Amino acid sequence: MHFPARRTLATDLIQAAKRHCGLDDFGGGDFFEALSRLLESCHSEAGLSWIGKIALRTNIVQILCSRLQMEQDRQLYPEIGHQEIRQPLFIVGLPRSGTTLLHNLLAADPEHRSPLMWEVMAPSPPTVVDE
């Protein structure tokens, strides 16, 4: 894996995600400016170490790959867009703040559906390989 000494640009990460996933359609919506601002903020404000910069790059490429895969899923399975989601609840928080405990507590309610771990980490289902 190559990590350039210069600032990481949004275009670099977008190209890396396309190469990694073998997909190139991010779908509608423009995220380029927001991604560029995030990267600029990380560069100028976060004080990331070399390891932190590697982790940032890896995480953003993975997030971009998830978007590419979800867009492909929406094209292959248009019925996804017809699913009704009523009153979604999002659990967000810093690490070690109780978010997993809250997720597990809410998942115990049989009247509601909570996402499985793989759905949270990689929203596109894994590819089935014929053996």
Domain residue limits, the chain: 10-80, 84-116
With CA atoms as reference, report the closest residue to 13 among 73, 48, 51, 65: 65
pTM of whole model > 0.75?
yes
Q: Running along the chain, 131 residues long, what does each successive block of 10 average in pLDDT? A: 68 97 94 96 92 95 95 94 91 93 93 86 74 53
Contact 16, 61 (CB under 8 A): yes
pLDDT at 118: 82
DSSP 48-64: --HHHHHHHHHHHHHHH
Q: Where are the alpha helices (DSSP H) in 1-131?
A: 10-21, 32-45, 50-76, 99-107, 117-121
